[in-house]
Amino acid sequence: MKNVIYLLLILCSAMAFAGQSFRLSDGDLVYTGMNKIEILDKLGEPLIKDVQSIGVDKGDGFAGKKTEIWSYRLQGDIGGEYLVSVTFKGDKVTSIDSKQRNR
């Protein structure tokens, strides 16, 4: 019974990590927790950088929470071209979303 529980925990953690990463055609992996310099090193400059600020700027120097989204067109490890969005809060990657083109 213990083995079944351990196996389920391992599978759940692997599935959670898989949704927050993207494997490139050369085998490199980008994943949540990386910083902007690491992403620039692996992926280069993005096609688009979008900065979103959530909150109200009252003029007191606090403008709310800033989220930055970098968009790429990349080759995936299983073939095909993907549209990949890397979301940053501060300097850290908080999510990676990908969609295969023409699907």
Per-residue model confidence (pLDDT) at position 60: 72
Whether pTM > 0.75 for this model: the answer is: no
Per-residue model confidence (pLDDT) at position 1: 60
Buried b / exposed e over 11-35, threshold 16 CB at 10 Å, is eeeeeeeeeeebbbeeeeebeeebe
Low-confidence ranges of the chain (pLDDT < 50): 4-18
CATH value of 2-100 in 3.90.190, 3.30.70, 3.30.1450, 3.40.50: 3.30.1450
Average pLDDT, the chain: 82
Per-residue model confidence (pLDDT) at position 9: 43
Structure tokens of 47? 């096609």
